[in-house]
Amino acid sequence: MDQDQNPTSGNGTGTAVTGAGSSQDTRTAAGENAQTLTTRQGHPVTNNQNSRTVGNRGPVTLENYQLLEKISHFDRERIPERVVHARGAGAHGVFESYGTVGNDPISKYTRAKLFQEKGKQTPVFVRFSTVIHSSHSPETLRDPRGFAVKFYTEDGNWDLVGNNLKVFFIRDALKFPDVIHSLKPDPITNRQDGGRIFDFMSNTPEAMHMLTFLFSPWGIPANYRQMQGSGVNTYKWVNADGEGHLVKYHWEPLQGIKNLTQPEAEKIQAKNFNHATQDLYDHIAKGEFPQWEFRVQLMPDGDHPELDFDPLDDTKIWPEDQFPMYPIGKMTLSKNPENYFAEVEQVAFGTGVLVDGLDFSDDKMLQGRTFSYSDTQRYRVGTNYLQLPINAPKKHVATNQRDGQMTYHVDTAPGQNPHVNYEPSSLNGLKEAPRSAPDHKPHYNGVLIRETIDRQNNFKQAGERWRLHEEWEKEDLVNNLVDAISAAEQHIQDKMVELFTQCDPEYGQRVAEGLKKHAEMSNSNGQAGMNGKKESDAVAQAEERAHEAQPY
């Protein structure tokens, strides 16, 4: 037998296995075994926790092959439904600028044109969504909510893609496919499984802050109108002198904030699993237009060693007593979509869609999302997704990009030589725009490495959030965590209790007591999903309480 055909040849041993109807070579290199993680190219993965960055704070470098392979495959896991944010509702509206940040003109911090004048209005389209669940899932399920805004500015589109919660599970985009896989249904049973969820979370201490929000009533907003929004990631503002400031974005609903406990959500779901979509549509149809005030937090650009957290870490909140919220404008949603698919389903957002005066920080999650989001849209909607009316800028467009699936028109300018689809050219082709202000030029001097950030501080803010919860919120949080964690193996339960205890001793004690009581009372081995239901009980009830019928 030729060596290339021998599954036991090479530096290691292995046998052929069958999967999806085909055999697979399972040779292992020296130091590997069958459980060694590799890329699709077979390269052993020695660090699956950190992207390769200039210094451990970033920025991320483009030659991260492992990151690109992992994220680009993840972007293509579903056809054609969004992998995340599949269930959504949307509306058109307008953003009105206040022209100031606190007592200062906004031009002190950013040259972005949409903010400069008091009363200046910019059209917007907003898509609200659930993150994990599918396109026809109930809107009462426990899940982060997406809050994405497309600003159609005079300088082109700006997309602010965020969530209702101000933090996230992870701080490095390399882990995004992993966290979503843990929250999605089991690939064998096709059901969400608390055992899988908390297997991942118990090995991800940075997730404690997000879990303390998500499993509380904050994990089930009452509707889309009465929930907050956040850009989650850290961005930069750049002024006319090219000076940068770190910025966090927040939407505060002027209708107030309302959340649901798990039992309250279950009662609503029994009557209407589209309630949030209906609520938004009906209020706009009646002329009761929802509004949000747009607020920002600012700090000078830099790594801020005086803080006990890294300002680029999206598992952290910037304390308001140190970094106040400044109102900079107001958004009003006043028009429902004319066609759901053409607008809400085909609208495409990307965190890399910024206008002059707005810029990226070195936030590792932001930089990974910037590749992933637009890559997903090209795959899901098509190469020419930006030619669809809902995605197209409300201004002049002239590019040298050509062809591709579903080309609707050619991006040529009036009088442009149609033979020239390149630049530079002396034959009447497109020309570069003049530079009206200097670029922001951050300075980097670091080692290219794969490392977790220095100031992780995974438990402090989670403990603070626990202590800020009202008693009814704490009770709902513990009940929901116990229902979900009870599906996990005992060592995972113990590890979660240890992590919650590091956040706050009372927090860990109450989860531990809940798990002990649950184990004593449990009479079944059913698995619990993220929404606190004993699934095996529901299966039994469906048969026991059903009404018999005769064949026809």
Buried-exposed string 453-467: b where 16+ CB fall within 10 A, e elsewhere: bebebbbbbbbebbe
Q: What is the mean pLDDT of residues 491-518?
A: 97
pLDDT surpassing 60 at residue 356: yes
- Map 487-550 to HEC letters: CCCHHHHHHHHHHHHHHCHHHHHHHHHHHHHHHHHCCCCCCECCCCCEHHHHHHHHHHCCCCCC
Question: What's the confidence (pLDDT) of residue 11?
Answer: 45
Structure tokens at 414: 């009036």
Q: Residue 82's pLDDT band (boundaries 50, 70, 90)?
A: confident
pLDDT tens profile 204-239: 999 999 999 999 999 999 999 999 999 999 999 999
Q: What percent of the chain has pLDDT over 90?
A: 66
- Provide the pLDDT for residue 9: 39
Q: H/E/C letters for each residue in 431-457?
A: CCCCCCCCCCCCCCCCCEECCCCCCCC
Amino acid making up residue 249 = Y
pLDDT tens, residue by residue, 358-396:
999 999 999 999 999 889 898 888 888 899 999 999 988
Both tokens of 385, joined, read: 């997704």
Neighbours of 142 (CB within 10 A): 24
| Total length of the chain | 552
The conformation of residue 4, written as its DSSP 8-state character, comes to G
Point out the catalytic residue in the list 50, 64, 85, 239. 85
Burial readout 44-81 (b: 16 or more C-beta within 10 A, e: otherwise): eeeeeebbbbbbbbbbbeeebebbeebbeebbeebeee
Q: Using one digit for the tens of pLDDT, what is the confidence trace for 137-196?
A: 899 999 999 999 999 999 999 999 999 999 999 999 999 999 999 999 999 999 999 999
pLDDT of residue 121: 97
pLDDT band per the 50, 70, 90 thresholds, residue 530: low
Instruction: Count Cβ atoms below 10 Å from residue 107 Cβ, excluding itself.
Output: 16
Q: Give pLDDT tens digits for 89-116.
A: 999 999 999 999 999 999 999 999 999 9
pLDDT-derived band at 435, boundaries 50, 70, 90 = confident
**Distance from C-alpha of 346 to C-alpha of 341, rounded to nearest angstrom:** 6
pTM: predicted TM-score of the whole model, two decimal places: 0.87
Asked if residue 128 lies in contact with residue 256, where contact means CB atoms within 8 angstroms, the answer is no
Domains of the chain with CATH codes: 88-210+221-387 (2.40.180.10), 459-543 (no CATH)
The answer to whether 252 touches 295, Cβ cutoff 8 Å, is: yes
Q: What value does the mean pLDDT of the chain take?
A: 89
Is 419 one of the annotated active-site residues of the chain? no
pLDDT tens string 245-270? 999 999 999 999 999 999 999 999 99
Res 535: pLDDT: 72
pLDDT score, position 534? 62
pLDDT for position 541: 86
Residue 177 one-letter amino acid: P
C-beta separation of 25 from 14 below 8 A: yes
Question: Which one is catalytic: 50, 64, 157, 163?
Answer: 163
pLDDT at 439 exceeding the cut of 50: yes
Per-residue burial over 351-389, b if 16 or more Cβ lie within 10 Å, else e, is bbbbbbbbbbbbbbbbbbbbbbbbbbbbbbbbebbbbbe
pLDDT tens digits, one per residue of 116-138 = 999 999 999 999 999 888 888 89
Please check if 235 is assigned to a binding site: no
The per-residue pLDDT for 19 is 44
| Separation CA 357–CA 248 (nearest Å) | 15
CA 115 to CA 108: how far, in whole Å?
Answer: 11
Cβ atoms 312, 362 nearer than 8 A: yes
Query: For position 78, what pLDDT does the model report?
Result: 61
> pLDDT value at position 15?
44
Residues 6+ apart with CB under 8 A from 436: none
Instruction: Show the tokens assigned to 240.
Output: 């006319």
Catalytic residue flag (residue 85) = yes
Give pLDDT, residue 5.
40
CA–CA separation, 67 and 52 (whole Å): 9
Q: How far apart are the first and last CA of the chain?
A: 63
Q: What is the CA radius of gyration of the chain?
A: 25
Closest residue by Cα to residue 11 from 44, 45, 48? 44
pLDDT tens for 1-56 read 444 444 333 444 444 444 444 455 667 778 878 777 777 666 778 888 899 899 99
pLDDT above 90 (res 85): no
Residue whose entry in the numeric block shows the structure tokens 């607008």: 343
Lowest mean per-residue pLDDT among 369-373, 413-417, 520-524? 520-524
Q: What is the pLDDT of residue 523?
A: 54
Range 479-501 burial, b when 16+ CB lie within 10 A, else e: bbbbbbbbbbeeebbebbbebbb
pLDDT at position 453: 94
Q: What is the mean pLDDT of residues 528-552?
A: 76
